[in-house]
Amino acid sequence: MDTESGSGCAERPLRRDAARNRELILATAAAVFAEHGLEAGYEEIARRAGIGVGTVYRRFPERAELVRALFESRIEEVVAIAERAAEQEDAFTGIACFLEQTLAHQVADRGLQEVMVGAISQDVHRMIGRERLGPILESLIERAQSDGTLRADVGATDLGLQLMVMSSMSIPAQPDLWRRYLALLLDGLRARPGQEPLPLVAPETEATYVLMCNLQRR
């Protein structure tokens, strides 16, 4: 119990070369995941990093652990986007900003997109989705609705799902094709006099996560 002078738990301080490799793996994995998604083989990461697969497995026996190490900070960026969006004078504009900026991040990094959707390690995703983003978005939505700018019958889960599908809308010739469909969506989201209410109700939070995972994997 007292063998370590480290922080809290019994974490041995990792030998110099090992620490260097750990960073190397993280940096390489970031690139590989951004390009090929979270299911990229360890082989590919190892090859690009110029080290053996064994080394990658030793440091990150669980892929989820590697994913967490990589994306915890990236996800904070998204939370920051939401926070900034919530400060917008006009709540509808805030929503538009949030969607636009989050999409820009997700489209640029396939790994991030998959993380946000909970493709790997649901707990991380739930944590940010439910505990961090959820409240911010909900209050933004509520504000926009009482301002009469956002249609009254959409919820946070609706936005989440739309965000999720938009993030795949990108082709080499038009990498930001998603902007086109985001504009279309925003037009649909705007409150208008005499508007028919949407059919059905916004899906449950839990069900939304399940759907997102299914969309991703299949």
Distance (Å, rounded) from C-alpha 92 to C-alpha 96?
6
CB 116 within 8 Å of CB 126: no
Q: Which of 62, 171, 193, 194 binds a second copy (CB under 8 A)?
A: 171
Tell me the closest approach of the beta carbon of residue 55 to DNA, in angstroms. 3
9-28: which residues touch DNA (CB under 7 A)?
12, 14-18, 21
For residue 80, the one-letter residue type is A
Residue 27 is a binding residue for a second copy (CB under 8 A): no
Tell me the closest approach of the beta carbon of residue 193 to a second copy, in angstroms. 12
* CA distances (Å), origin 113, targets 31, 65, 139, 216: 14, 17, 23, 10
Residue 113 is a binding residue for a second copy (CB under 8 A): no
Residue 174 is a binding residue for a second copy (CB under 8 A): yes
The residue among 51 and 161 lying less far from a second copy, judged by its C-beta, is: 161
Any alpha helices (H) in the chain, and if so which ranges?
16-36, 42-49, 53-59, 63-86, 91-108, 110-116, 122-126, 134-147, 156-166, 178-189, 205-216
Distance (Å, rounded) from C-alpha 162 to C-alpha 171?
18
Residue 127 is a binding residue for a second copy (CB under 8 A): no
The residue among 46 and 159 lying less far from a second copy, judged by its C-beta, is: 159
Q: Which residues bind a second copy (CB under 8 A)?
A: 37, 154, 158, 161-162, 165, 168-174, 176-177, 179-181, 183-189, 195-196, 198-204, 207-208, 210-211, 214-216, 218
